Structure 1
């Protein structure tokens, strides 16, 4: 399995792809991340074409078990960020 790309490597690759400098590419990446974070935290969803959809899922109150002690307890309802991967990305990874 290949190592994960770091943010610095991603910014450099974006700068090369955009034909721009790293400062502009870094600002663009930060802006996209901020928009996704703001929209999803407000309960919306963001779709990046060819990549996937980011959205917030509400989970109901439920019983969970501590694996170390076996003790069961009630976990309060919470929210979880989910990502559904686009078919185009799945196909490119498998083909």
Structure 2
């Protein structure tokens, strides 16, 4: 009876040993180098001149005039995700809700 009890245990350990013999540790080494991007604004600075507060919409965003002949170029050496954000250098004119230029 004891032999019959030990037989399933012996088979379980033997099957684990057989499975362990088929496993392998895999190590990967290398360096991940991020893609380089160049950012440029062609056509000079964006200058909207002086805009009085009366010209600004008090209830929503004020659309500024189009700057023709200007373009923002983001050129990367490979496929990559890119984004940019605007920052207002005058905190008193910043929209705290939407974070947009005021």
TM-score between the two structures when normalised by the length of structure 1 = 0.23
Larger RCO (CA under 8 A, 6+ residues apart): 2
TM-score normalised by structure 2 residue count: 0.22
More strand by share: 1
Q: Whose helix proportion is higher, 1 or 2?
A: 1
